[in-house]
Amino acid sequence: MQKATIGVIGLGVMGRRLAQNMARNGYRVAGFDLDGEKVATFAASGAALAGCETLEAFLAALETPRRILLMAPAGGPVDAILETLTPHLASGDLVIDGGNSHYIATERRAEALAARDVLFVGMGVSGGEYGALWGPSLMPGGQRDAWEQMRPLLEAVAARVDGEPCVAYIGPRGAGHYVKMVHNGIEYADMQLIAESYDLLHRGGGLRNADLAEVFGAWNEGDLESYLVEITAKILARVDEETGQPLVDLILDEAKHKGTGKWTSQDALDLGAPIPTINGAVTMRFISAYKDERVAASRVLPGPEPALAVDKDDLVATVRDALYAAKIAAYAQGFALLRAADQEYGYHLDYGSIAKIWRGGCIIRAGFLDKIRAAFARTPDLTNLLLDPALGNAVAARQGALRQVVQWAAARGIPALAMSAALAYYDGYRAARLPANLTQAQRDYFGAHTYRRVDREGSFHTVWEDLERPSQA
């Protein structure tokens, strides 16, 4: 029997759909899963798909050196598969982890496999089920040799924008999974900014879901054109078949998460990189999860009525501009985090190329990504997207809208943490002087932590009070 070019372990939705995509592009694919039903569904999904009931049969079905794609949930499942698989691997074999693994786990696994001369690629895959089948955005990291080997197949299956595949070599070790993690952090921010816009228009502006669907649909024709805005319009238009009510109103307001946004915040904190809009998005998911407490608190904690006394057309136009400005600020934070990570972890990232492969296939795909690509083409070493003339001007021109929206939200008691954080990031970043002078003085006061001065070099400490005498509080 003809051997398979590649094997997939983990035949859930993503594994099976990616395999179908490979088969459609002329590759023969073997598949293995411990769940026999999934193997059967896989085998029935295409003539070029060989379903294998055992690991032995799977390994025997592959060309050598073997190429194996793992599509398993991050964490323990990936380690469990590798533990079983590794003893069967030979020098020159290549393993790709296409799940949302933490980049540190990827670095550890790459090292362990390198000791056996097995190549390991940690690859971010974005685009959900549709993307996996018709063209995802792919972020492979690891040895460059491994990328070169996999390149034709990955370029064949990836999404395309302007004829160019949405895949590029990201960098060594865990770079691919790092960049996917930050993609997800930006995804959280984007989603939260859209949610806050919806809240302001819906609770604040009194717009009905059907009108909102039209608003988001129209936004998708302009600067905000993106997959997330597009699906928001479709979601808002959907009516529940059983009740005849807008489906979105029937969905419980508790946002779940699988960890990648939280990891982005955790890593940014470790790096000292400010990403307040992403942190705000993660935090609002957490607050949403306290449903019972919120319901109880809603009965005892007062606040203003959410209704805004604003002309509907003005409201829609202002929220649209605020959303776009906040979105740029959020992406600026994400790319600045990549820059900080690059410096710390030595990934040698190509930011323009990352923006380019995010233009299609992935969840944050948007026309706007081409503007980011163009910004890095103008200035490859751009320190912050806000410093790009086109993007910086786009925020500057819409800052009035963002300020207005944050004011409306605050005045009417509508939480807009991500929007406010985007504005504070913009104002903080453009502030030549922040009140950190006072913070430094306080640190020096209570802990003798010293401070630097603006008028001379050196490190200073002030004796703020006489320690020998108790203070006169």
Q: What is the DSSP letter of 239?
A: B
What residues from 228 to 257 belong to the interface with ligand 6PG (CB under 6 A)? 256-257
Q: Does 135 bind ligand 6PG (CB under 6 A)?
A: no
Buried b (16+ CB within 10 A) or exposed e, 336-360: bbbbbbbeebebebbbbebbbbbbb
Stretch near ligand 6PG under the rule CB under 6 A, chosen from 101-109, 120-128, 155-163, 286-294: 120-128
Stretch near ligand 6PG under the rule CB under 6 A, chosen from 126-134, 228-236, 322-330, 417-425: 126-134
What count of Cα atoms within 13 Å lies in the side-chain half-sphere of residue 303? 13
Residue closest to 137 by CA, chosen among 418, 444, 360? 360
Task: Give me the least distance between CB of 74 and ligand 6PG, in Å please.
Answer: 9
Angle between helices 13-24 and 36-43 (to 10 degrees): 20
Task: Give the dihedral of Cα atoms 317, 318, 321, 322; nearest 10 deg.
Answer: -150
Q: What is the DSSP letter of 202?
A: I
Q: Is 211 exposed, middle or buried (0-12, 13-18, 19+ CB in 10 A)?
A: middle
List the one residue from 260, 264, 288, 318 that touches ligand 6PG (CB under 6 A): 260
Task: Give me the least distance between CB of 321 and ligand 6PG, in Å please.
Answer: 27
CB of 136 or CB of 392, closer to ligand 6PG = 136
List the one residue from 5, 106, 184, 220 that touches ligand 6PG (CB under 6 A): 184
Q: Which residues pair with 433 in a beta bridge?
A: none
Task: Give me the least distance between CB of 97 and ligand 6PG, in Å please.
Answer: 13
Residue of 3, 56, 148, 180 with catalytic role: 180
List the one residue from 33, 97, 107, 187 that touches ligand 6PG (CB under 6 A): 187
**d(C-alpha 372, C-alpha 387), whole Å:** 12
CB of 43 or CB of 255, closer to ligand 6PG = 255
Q: By Cβ distance, which residue is nearest to ligand 6PG?
A: 126
List the one residue from 12, 77, 128, 415 that touches ligand 6PG (CB under 6 A): 128
Q: Which residues pair with 142 in a beta bridge?
A: 121
CB count, 10 Å around CB of 460? 11
CB of 144 or CB of 258, closer to ligand 6PG = 258
**H or E element at residue 218:** helix 209-219
* CA–centroid distance for 469 within its chain: 54
Quick check: is 187 catalytic?
Answer: yes
Residues 6+ apart with CB under 8 A from 240: 246, 247, 250
CB of 184 or CB of 399, closer to ligand 6PG = 184
CB of 39 or CB of 349, closer to ligand 6PG = 349
Task: Give me the least distance between CB of 102 and ligand 6PG, in Å please.
Answer: 13
List the one residue from 45, 100, 197, 265 that touches ligand 6PG (CB under 6 A): 100
Q: Does 127 bind ligand 6PG (CB under 6 A)?
A: yes
Q: Does 265 bind ligand 6PG (CB under 6 A)?
A: no
What residues from 351 to 370 belong to the interface with ligand 6PG (CB under 6 A)? 362-363
- Take residue 22 and report the two structure tokens written for it: 């490979």
Q: Does 267 bind ligand 6PG (CB under 6 A)?
A: no
**d(C-alpha 374, C-alpha 376), whole Å:** 5
CB of 187 or CB of 388, closer to ligand 6PG = 187
Residue of 107, 187, 196, 230 with catalytic role: 187
Task: Give me the least distance between CB of 99 and ligand 6PG, in Å please.
Answer: 9
Angle between helices 312-345 and 260-271 (to 10 degrees): 60
Q: Give me the sheet containing 29-32, strands edge to edge.
A: 49-52, 29-32, 6-9, 67-70, 94-97, 119-126, 137-142
Angle CA(192)–CA(198)–CA(201) in degrees, nearest 5? 145
Quick check: is 327 catalytic?
Answer: no
CB of 187 or CB of 223, closer to ligand 6PG = 187
Task: Give me the least distance between CB of 184 and ligand 6PG, in Å please.
Answer: 4
Stretch near ligand 6PG under the rule CB under 6 A, chosen from 50-58, 121-129, 333-341, 445-453: 121-129
CB of 116 or CB of 258, closer to ligand 6PG = 258
Q: Are 64 and 45 in contact (CB under 8 A)?
A: no
Q: Does 333 bind ligand 6PG (CB under 6 A)?
A: no
Helix, coil or strand: residue 254: coil
- Show which residues are catalytic: 180, 187
Which residues of this protein are in contact with ligand 6PG, per CB under 6 A? 100, 126-128, 184, 187, 256-258, 260-261, 362-363
